[in-house]
Chain A
């Protein structure tokens, strides 16, 4: 296993120093079928990159008894089968694996997500403008002018936490969450943006809507985004939004993306 980690460190660049996972992270107990590999306690792109890199190393090495891993902002939840391995055995395997300091790489693809901002599509846009002291057009320009990274998928199937939202748009979640947020709603809260993939309750501020679909259980993988992907929001008008919605409904819309390192 040392070989794989060393190779990974080399690929990250000669300036990187590799360190064992057990020197960068701590293991936390999660019952008898999982444990957490925790790299930090805050949302930070470099920490998140360590999480995804560890997930990739494990997906490659597939140690005996590993069931699956769940990356989140700052830790990796490792699910295992206690009939085939133990937390102790799996941690002894993971501990010596090496990670470079900051395994972030430029996103290999950047999705271009068309968004109709404001109005019925984004019922909270005016409120967000008022709360941030910006004009509606400024909110849109800031939101659409940012290159986001997929930190984590979760909460709902296909819900991606996209960061970082510009500081000027940083707002707490709504004090009274909505009971029903329509799928495709483009939302912001704190330093994150997200898109509701399915109808659900939600407390984020809805500033726009996209006709694209982000979760399809008939596909594997079932989500459009993958960890580390780049995402850019592209403002469109109501006519373009309607045309895209029709194309998506007929299965003839392919999502635009910018290829290669940005």
Chain B
């Protein structure tokens, strides 16, 4: 019998996500899927899954749950967080970026995320929800897919797919790290010509701050308003993830995985796919800059990102003995306190 999770505390927004729902945007169905697709792929690799298997996307802080009906192997990728596994009166502490074998009956608590606002928790065998239109991704707005079309709630029970955890637990010795200042590369267009030349220059020269209005559909940015030649409205056309649309206020909105399929605001630029995982993890208050690249440079960056993921997956190795204690000390320290504060004030 394969294991299940009984959710004790869901966390701020925990959803079932895979690499997204493709092929139905012509019907108005958004792609959805993990904001940080790289994290999903690496988390899956850590537990021995195929890259596209469904896992839990965590925003800001993780859930707690009980593993019932069998043992489970899990791994967190995309952010740092303390993971506590409690069986009886013994609690073990682990970190992200490694597989963890959790015995049947144990309780798991994933703490506050650090380094990114989103992470993926993968389970050997994947999270077994019924695919809808070819994907297990949750469509929060359409209220379908994932677990009952919504974020997890206390009391939910999630089945895990059959997938015997084989071999020793793997870890990623040198996980990707975000640097302090975030620069997102973006291709100007499709409607860069709706803006004055000065506005386009300002967009690529000025830092923007992620506002509090940020969710899986998109993030409103704060900074100098952009000036249109004529106006913000266009005859609605298709939207790609990463599009930066600018409504009449002149303040850009970076559109993420749950964006609408079409929209009627001019789009000044599109963040390249290699940088979307980074964008997905940005938290309110973060300062970002945009750097203009060509389509060919964007495609090249995506190929480089792909090669990097392949290299990271090839570098997975058995967890080193004794590493656990060091990690525990790390998480007892002040590594995550800043994020906890940000969470409480949001």
Contact = CB atoms under 8 A, between A and B. Distances in A.
B237 A223 contact: no
Interface residues of A, number: 49
A154 B28 contact: yes
The listed residue with most B CB atoms (<10 A of its CB), out of A36, A42, A157, A218, is A157
A61 interface: no
Interface stretch (B42-50, B52-60, B175-183, B298-306): B298-306
A204 interface: no
Interface string A202-221: 00000000000001011011
A198 B139 CA distance: 13
Interface string A68-97: 111111111101001100111000000000
Interface stretch (A27-35, A132-140, A242-250): A27-35
A43 interface: yes
B23 A77 contact: no
Interface in B108-143: 132-134, 139, 141-143
B295 interface: yes
B196 interface: no
A222 B24 contact: yes
A233 interface: no
Given A30-B190, A31-B298, A154-B261, A55 B26 contact: yes
Contact of B237 (A36, A69, A79, A153): A36
A154 B24 contact: no
The listed residue with most A CB atoms (<10 A of its CB), out of B26, B139, B242, B274, is B26
Contacts of B272: 31-32
A214 to B, nearest CB: 10
Interface in B8-45: 22-30
B253 interface: no
Interface string B292-333: 000110110111001000000000000000000000000000
B142 A29 contact: no
Given A68-B23, A77-B240, A220-B133, A30 B189 contact: yes
Interface residues of B, number: 52
Given A29-B270, A220-B133, A156 B28 contact: yes
A162 interface: no
B83 interface: no
B243 interface: yes
Given A221-B27, A222-B133, A75 B271 contact: no
Nearest to B262: A154
B145 interface: yes
B186 interface: yes
Contacts of B262: 70, 72, 152, 154-155
Nearest to A67: B22
A220 B131 CA distance: 12
A35 B142 CA distance: 26
B2 interface: no
B99 to A, nearest CB: 27
B28 A31 contact: no
Interface in A11-49: 28-36, 38, 41-43
Nearest to A88: B296
B273 A82 contact: yes
B62 interface: no
Given A32-B187, A67-B22, A222-B27, A82 B237 contact: no
A184 interface: no
A158 interface: yes
Nearest to A71: B26
A244 B143 CA distance: 25
A16 to B, nearest CB: 25
Interface in A152-206: 152-159, 198, 200
Contacts of B303: 82-83
The listed residue with most B CB atoms (<10 A of its CB), out of A29, A38, A55, A155, is A29
A72 B145 contact: no
Nearest to B189: A29
Given A29-B189, A217-B132, 18 more contacts: A30-B189, A32-B187, A32-B295, A33-B240, A41-B234, A68-B23, A68-B24, A70-B261, A72-B236, A76-B238, A83-B303, A83-B306, A87-B295, A88-B296, A154-B236, A155-B28, A158-B27, A222-B133
Q: Which 10 A-B pairs have the closest CB atoms?
A: A77-B238, A32-B298, A31-B270, A154-B262, A28-B190, A70-B238, A29-B189, A34-B240, A82-B299, A217-B144
16 contacts: A30-B240, A32-B274, A32-B302, A34-B270, A68-B23, A75-B238, A82-B302, A87-B296, A88-B295, A153-B27, A157-B24, A157-B27, A157-B139, A215-B28, A217-B142, A222-B29
